[in-house]
Amino acid sequence: MFTSDLTKLSVVSRALSQCGHFMLTEGYNPWDSKLERIKNTMGDHPDYLKLFLSTHNFILRGDGALPWDYRHYIAIMAAARHQCDYLVDIQKEMFLEHGGDSAWLQGLDCVPDKLRSLNEINKILAHRPWLLCKSHIIRLTKESNWSLAELVHAIVILAHFHSLASFVFGCGINDQDDPDAPVNNSKKILILGNVEPEVRVDQLMERMRTLSQREEEFSVEEQTQRFLRVDHRDQTIDIENSRVLKQTSGLGHFIEDTEFTYQDFQRRGETGDFPTFRVQDYSWEDHGYSLVNRLYNDVGNLLDAKFKKAYNMTYYTMGGNKDVDTSRFRRAIWNYIHCVFGIRHDDYDYGEVNQLLERSLKAYIKSTCCYPERVATRDFAQVLAEFEHSEKVHINLMVQEARMQAELLYALRVVMNHMK
Amino acid sequence: MALAKAKTMFATQEGPANALALNKDFSQVVIAGRNVFKVFLIESDAFVEVCNLRVGKNINLNFSCNDVAWNAYDENILATAATNGAVVVWNLNKPTRSKQEHVFNDHRRTVNKVSFHQTEPFWLLSGSQDGTMKCFDFRIKEVTRTFISKTESVRDVQFSPHQMHTFAAVSENGNVQLWDLRKPEKCLHQFTAHSGPIFACDWHPETSWLATASRDKTIKVWDLATINKPVCEHIIPTIASVGHIKWRPQRKYHIASSALVVDCSVNIWDVRRPYIAFASFNEHQDVATGVAWRGDPHVILSTSKDFTLYQHVFKDAARPESKANPQGIAFNSKGDMSFSCKISINPGTLSKLPNLLRKTPQHSDQFCSVTSSMHTFLSKAQKEVKCFLECARRYQLSGKPLAELCDHNAAVAKQLGRHQVSLVWGVVKTLYCTPNMGKVTDLQQTPSGKDSRDDPNITPGGASEAHNGTDLRHTDKNEKGEPNGVPQNEDNDTENEEPEQQDRNLSTIATGLAINQGDFFFGDGAEGEMDQLRIDDDQMSTEDMHQEWTLPTEAFNLRHEIEDRSPPPEQFPNHCAVEMFDVLPDEGNLILPLMDVIGLPRLSHWDPSEVIASALNKHAESSDVQTAASVLLVLGEKRTALIDEFKQEQWILGYLELLGRHKLWNTATQVIKHSWLPSITQLNQQSTTLPTNCETCSRPLRRSGWHCDNCRQWCGKCAVCNELVKGVFSWCQGCSHGGHLAHMHDWLQKHRLCPAGCGHACEYD
């Protein structure tokens, strides 16, 4: 409540000194300064940045079911899942600033059971969202006393920080930190190695052109095969990577079951236990939005605008070429990310993904999505050598948003099933 | 009626259906979804499967349907919209097992809707996620026209039943477009109907209305009589995003709807009565995915995600309105009351209701025979309101010693004629501000306060009765508005003194003596005591010292002002005062010895909190939460033992609500600020953001408070030094110029006008 009392000069100063989080202006937000590096990186895309910040501030600051210390602690849990100490540090600070109990920062053993119970869905959402099922929600609501509104708020925070961690690692923001610290980097094996680009930008553009002329129809088997095959070529990469550091960072106390990581939705030759998620049956626009807005007021609009912006944003450039219709390329990236999480768009020919996304790019995208902690700064520099810096950031934005949408779709579908 | 015998029934499928369609004579129904595609014959008591179209060796995504339509002329022709972007035409007459007649692969994205023309049997219209609509002529198996909506996706297309060439299309950006089939290059008219995606539309079969259903949880009815000037006739707010709508045949004002999430029922609305459904069918376990009327206003079919196909009949419908509470009552801050109720249509009753202010127009339609009236009763208690407002404004709640606050507030209350309240303040002051010396000594002298209470010398009951007698005799200012002021005797024997008595006692004193004489009595007794007992104090254990001397320092100041006073009163101000009164009504000083003899040595530590607590309770219960809350606020730390915290919170919240209703924001903020309960103080911790606008372009500053992204310049420079102000920016309300606090301060010491040179005589406090 802002009162006319404050119009009086003396009172203004008193109020300012008394009230720690009074913000004279919307922009004067101490958070922002800490987010500086993210903001600078996203600054290449100001339209997006604006939406990102308003969502970000809304879920941490705006009206919502959860108290502030919970929000920050959940954010810490989410970022810790991907060992993103940059985000964890910021959130720790914010947590304390908003009256959080510093004992909680010693780890999950010291937090209320209610928060701790969130650990399970944090783990699942972060790595294999398709495993989430109704029983998780029932356990949280029945045993751990979560209301659905609180739970949806928590889910949004989790998804937001998981995907933000992807962005932070994908753009190499995390490693810019303390240069003197024993850099994780050294231990990281570059995902990409030193790959020669398989496809040059002009070839890529040519392919997009031919694709848009050609119309094919495939049998459902062929389509499904394509959907499944999209992912397979990268598995070799992942196997190599799985040798890499089994996590040594100091964030272990915020998470449990560190061995739990991403696993391919459907491995080659295996018939999965989990049905493919069909976007045509549960889409963000129809169902996801309606549900999230119901349980967590207004956030639906913010997320909706952000997803739309990330999906539709284009500058019609590609690696220095102008007036390029990039829609196919962008759609391929978006759908590839959804595909990695087992979400299928009926009206998409997944053959396009393999044509448009070269192997190294797929490896990079998949890593930022699923194992962001393994992505090294140099990966960002190496991937897509011909692309502009801002275009690479653009790709990372899409990774972030597509991943968040995928997580939310799974989570909200389960919540909806729970509600009926 | 042919369908009179229809009954509620269902059939369960192997998967959820996304849509359904009826043939032209309503005897068969086709349902289509991702894993189900069947035609049923609707018998009187069951659905009989006629044909399963999901057969053949090559089952692909063309079988995965978003929508299905049945040709209005040819019984055997169906069309489906496939999730992979295909529009498929089926011919039930085909001799082969697979009935697939033709596949149009013209859309690039999922097709959301297919629709047959009502009079031209070969025209088929489709709307797709790729933002285009295509008109197919399946005699030549070609797309005849493509309409580009220039939106992201088209969610529904419907031919107008009135104009052969017109169709309506609704899209994800909330727009409705009206097209002429012959003019594919540009739509006839376009308007924004909703603030979110529109999922469905339906033309009214008789009038020029078009209903639209949206994610923004509304159904709107547009009158398109003049196509360029759509008028929103009705709005029905629903509880969830609306996925499907269909007008009810033969009922002009009724429309059926089904939700996309959360709400599993199929609702029938009377558009003239929004907010509550006229009827609803609650059979489904999951949201309904499609609804269709069986040509009869009493039978409707629906498919659902719970894998069922249902036929609902009206006689089994739930009538939510019958369960709704037909009455409503509300109070405003002035105590006025308004009451609304359903009235029977019999006009005779109207004459009995002289207070009738407003009456919704009466509908003759039997389905909408709802009228209601609203009565407003004005409260006469204007004076109380005025008192409340004045008190709220003028009470001081903090910032001064307790005694001064009490005095001030007592004076305020007294001025406003609220003598009782004034006395409460007086008592609070008396009990809490007088020196505690008495207490200290008493602690030593008598082990417990109760003992002394039971002491026959004091005879509380008798004293009370006596005083009550006096009371009634001497006070004629029986406060009105205190209904239970007189019958008090029953409480007299209990230990807990009825606060009213106390008030009354004091008021009797007040009538005879100066108001502060009460203080006088209680206050200085202790003063005298104090001097005598200082030595004792020094000898006391430090713990006692500590306990008893943590009073605010102001208590001492007070003491020094009052010097030569009668020896101590006692712990039972009432009784002593009354006794005094009885014996020597006019001579305060003369009672000194009396007091000494009776009370002092025996009267011991007595905790006034019980009395105060019951006084406050009394006020709160008699709907004067203001006094209760204010006293609590003024008491500061001392209140903790008084009343349990839950009650405290209720009082403060109640007071805050009243203040809010009277728009006394300043007082409310003060209350919040000085309240001690975390749940209340945090009210002021929310929404503490003050958005500012750029001084040049007036757009909101988003990223930081001192840089405008739009004009790319710094905002909020100091008018004195012209530097950017970060931190405290003080500004004049009149001309909105300002700057660093110190600079403005210095400037205004020497100048009168605004440093910005705008000529405004800036005013700061």
pLDDT digits (tens, 9 = 90+) for B538-586: 444 444 444 444 444 444 444 444 444 444 444 444 443 334 444 444 4
Least confident of A111-115, B30-34, B546-550: B546-550
Whether A22 contacts chain B with CB within 8 A: yes
Q: In which band, very low, low, confident or very high, does the pLDDT at B405 lie, cut at 50, 70 and 90?
A: confident
A189 within a domain of the structure (yes/no): no
Are A88 and A79 contacting, i.e. CB atoms less than 8 angstroms apart? yes
How far B64 CA sits from the closest chain A CA (Å)?
Answer: 9
Contact B262 A416 (CB under 8 A): yes
Return the residue of A nearest to B744 by Cα.
Answer: A9
- In the predicted structure, residue A14 carries a pLDDT above the cut 80: no
Averaging pLDDT over each range in A264-278, B81-95, B320-334, B363-377, which range is the top one? Answer: B81-95
Whether A25 contacts chain B with CB within 8 A: yes
Contact B692 A26 (CB under 8 A): yes
What is the C-alpha to C-alpha distance for residues B477 and B419, in angstroms, rounded to an integer? Answer: 9
Q: Which of B110, B196, B669 sits opposite A3 (nearest CB)?
A: B669
CA B650 centroid distance within chain: 17
Are B341 and B326 contacting, i.e. CB atoms less than 8 angstroms apart? yes
Q: In which band, very low, low, confident or very high, does the pLDDT at B293 lie, cut at 50, 70 and 90?
A: very high
How confident is the model at residue A32, as a pLDDT?
A: 52
Are B171 and B163 contacting, i.e. CB atoms less than 8 angstroms apart? no
- In the predicted structure, residue A190 carries a pLDDT above the cut 60: no
Element (H, E) at A289: helix A289-295
- In the predicted structure, residue B711 carries a pLDDT above the cut 80: no
> What is the full DSSP assignment across A223-280?
HHHHHHHHHHTTHHHHHHHHTS----STTGGG-S-TT-----SS-TTPPPSSPPEETT
> What is the side-by-side strand order in the sheet with B231-237?
B198-203, B209-214, B218-223, B231-237
Q: Which of B83, B669, B765 sits opposite A1 (nearest CB)?
A: B669
Give CA angle at B401 (B396, B403), nearest 5°.
Answer: 85
How confident is the model at residue B422, as a pLDDT?
A: 86
Return the exposure string of B579-614: e unless at least 16 CB atoms fall within 10 Å of the residue's CB, then b. bbbeeeeeebeebbebbbebbbebbbbbebbebbbb
Q: Average of pLDDT values for B253-267? A: 90
pLDDT digits (tens, 9 = 90+) for A114-164: 888 898 899 899 988 888 889 999 999 888 888 889 999 999 999 999 999
Cα separations in angstroms, B239 against B265, B281, B317, B737: 11, 15, 19, 47
Return the residue of B nearest to A213 by Cα.
Answer: B108
Q: In which band, very low, low, confident or very high, does the pLDDT at B214 lie, cut at 50, 70 and 90?
A: very high
How far A218 CA sits from the closest chain B CA (Å)?
Answer: 8
What is the C-alpha to C-alpha distance for residues B558 and B398, in angstroms, rounded to an integer? Answer: 17
- In the predicted structure, residue B751 carries a pLDDT above the cut 60: yes
Element (H, E) at B258: strand B254-259
Q: Average of pLDDT values for A73-81? A: 91
- In the predicted structure, residue A321 carries a pLDDT above the cut 70: yes
Q: Which of B84, B668, B692 sits opposite A346 (nearest CB)?
A: B84
Q: Determine which of B61, B62, B170, B171 to mutate to test the interface with A (most A C-beta atoms within 10 Å).
A: B61
Mean pLDDT of chain B: 74
Residue B358: Cβ-neighbour burial (10 angstroms; 0-12, 13-18, 19+)? exposed
Q: What is the pTM of this model?
A: 0.63
Contact A26 B59 (CB under 8 A): no
Q: Average of pLDDT values for B312-322? A: 87
Are B329 and B282 contacting, i.e. CB atoms less than 8 angstroms apart? no
Contact A280 B707 (CB under 8 A): no
For chain A, how many structural domains are there in total? 1
The candidate with the shortest Cα–Cα distance to B61, out of B82, B41, B37, B92, is B82
How confident is the model at residue B69, as a pLDDT?
A: 92
- In the predicted structure, residue B443 carries a pLDDT above the cut 60: no
Q: Which of B260, B705, B741 sits opposite A28 (nearest CB)?
A: B705
pLDDT digits (tens, 9 = 90+) for B348-368: 444 444 444 444 444 434 445
Whether A213 contacts chain B with CB within 8 A: no
Contact B261 A12 (CB under 8 A): no
The candidate with the shortest Cα–Cα distance to B25, out of B2, B7, B44, B9, is B2
Give CA angle at B603 (B602, B606), nearest 5°.
Answer: 145
Residues of A in contact with B289 (CB under 8 A): none
How confident is the model at residue B4, as a pLDDT?
A: 65
What is the three-class DSSP state of B478? coil
Dihedral sign for Cα atoms in the order A23, A25, A28, A31: positive
Contact A420 B702 (CB under 8 A): no
How confident is the model at residue B236, as a pLDDT?
A: 92
CA B722 centroid distance within chain: 45
A69 within a domain of the structure (yes/no): yes
Fold of B689-765: Herpes Virus-1 (3.30.40)
Number of H helices and E strands in chain B, helices first, is 20, 36
Return the residue of A nearest to B679 by Cα.
Answer: A67
- The count of CB pairs under 8 A between chains A and B is 153
User: φ and ψ at B261, to 5 degrees?
Assistant: -135, 165
Q: Which of B172, B668, B765 sits opposite A10 (nearest CB)?
A: B765
Residue type for position A92:
K
Q: Average of pLDDT values for B278-306? A: 90
Least confident of A179-188, A258-267, B708-717: A179-188
Q: Which of B85, B262, B687 sits opposite A347 (nearest CB)?
A: B85
What is the three-class DSSP state of B237? strand
How far A127 CA sits from the closest chain B CA (Å)?
Answer: 27
What token pair was written down for B444?
């030593």
Hey, where are the domains in chain B?
13-117, 326-343+370-384, 395-437+607-681, 449-472+513-604, 689-765
Element (H, E) at B357: strand B356-359
- Provide the residue range defining the domain that includes A368: 1-176+197-420
Q: Average of pLDDT values for B442-450? A: 40
A283 within a domain of the structure (yes/no): yes
- In the predicted structure, residue A314 carries a pLDDT above the cut 80: yes
Whose tokens are 């045993």? That residue is A143
pLDDT digits (tens, 9 = 90+) for B647-668: 888 888 888 888 888 888 888 8
List A residues 106-145 in contact with B (Cβ-Cβ < 8 A). Answer: none
The candidate with the shortest Cα–Cα distance to B402, out of B238, B220, B558, B195, is B558
pLDDT digits (tens, 9 = 90+) for B327-348: 888 877 666 788 887 766 554 4
Contact B729 A24 (CB under 8 A): yes
Which long-range CB contacts under 8 A does B282-287 form with residues at least 24 apart? B282/B318, B283/B8, B283/B10, B283/B308, B283/B310, B283/B312, B284/B308, B284/B310, B285/A420, B286/A420, B286/B16, B287/A420, B287/B243, B287/B258, B287/B259, B287/B260, B287/B261, B287/B262, B287/B263
Least confident of A210-219, B310-319, B671-680: A210-219
Are A226 and A349 contacting, i.e. CB atoms less than 8 angstroms apart? yes
Contact A24 B727 (CB under 8 A): yes
Residues of A in contact with B705 (CB under 8 A): 24-28
Q: In which band, very low, low, confident or very high, does the pLDDT at B438 lie, cut at 50, 70 and 90?
A: very low
Contact A290 B215 (CB under 8 A): yes
Residues of A in contact with B196 (CB under 8 A): 289
pLDDT digits (tens, 9 = 90+) for B477-529: 444 434 443 344 444 444 444 444 444 444 444 444 443 443 444 444 444 44
User: How does strand B218-223 pair with strand B231-237?
Assistant: antiparallel
- In the predicted structure, residue B219 carries a pLDDT above the cut 90: yes
What is the C-alpha to C-alpha distance for residues B509 and B489, in angstroms, rounded to an integer? Answer: 19
First to last CA, chain B: 82
Return the residue of B nearest to A222 by Cα.
Answer: B60
Q: Which of B110, B172, B261 sits opposite A280 (nearest CB)?
A: B110
Least confident of A6-10, A246-250, B543-547: A6-10
Residues of A in contact with B728 (CB under 8 A): 12-13, 16, 24
CA B460 centroid distance within chain: 50
How confident is the model at residue A225, as a pLDDT?
A: 67
A181 within a domain of the structure (yes/no): no
Contact B703 A21 (CB under 8 A): no
Q: Which of A9, A25, A32 sits opposite B690 (nearest CB)?
A: A25
Contact B669 A32 (CB under 8 A): no
Contact A287 B260 (CB under 8 A): yes
What is the C-alpha to C-alpha distance for residues A89 and A107, in angstroms, rounded to an integer? Answer: 14
Residue B640: Cβ-neighbour burial (10 angstroms; 0-12, 13-18, 19+)? middle
Residues of B in contact with A416 (CB under 8 A): 261-262
What token pair was written down for B182?
């012959």
Q: In which band, very low, low, confident or very high, does the pLDDT at B203 lie, cut at 50, 70 and 90?
A: very high
How far B625 CA sits from the closest chain A CA (Å)?
Answer: 22
Whether A99 contacts chain B with CB within 8 A: no
What token pair was written down for B208?
């020029």
Q: Determine which of A14, A21, A25 to mutate to test the interface with B (most B C-beta atoms within 10 Å).
A: A25
Q: Determine which of B260, B688, B707, B741 to mutate to test the interface with A (most A C-beta atoms within 10 Å).
A: B688
pLDDT digits (tens, 9 = 90+) for B686-705: 666 677 777 777 777 766 66
Q: Name, in order, each residue with C-beta under 8 angstroms of A233's C-beta and a sequence gap of 6 or more.
A: A354, A359, A362
What is the C-alpha to C-alpha distance for residues A93 and A34, in angstroms, rounded to an integer? Answer: 10
The residue with greater pLDDT, B515 or B737, is B737
Q: Is A133 a catalytic residue?
A: no
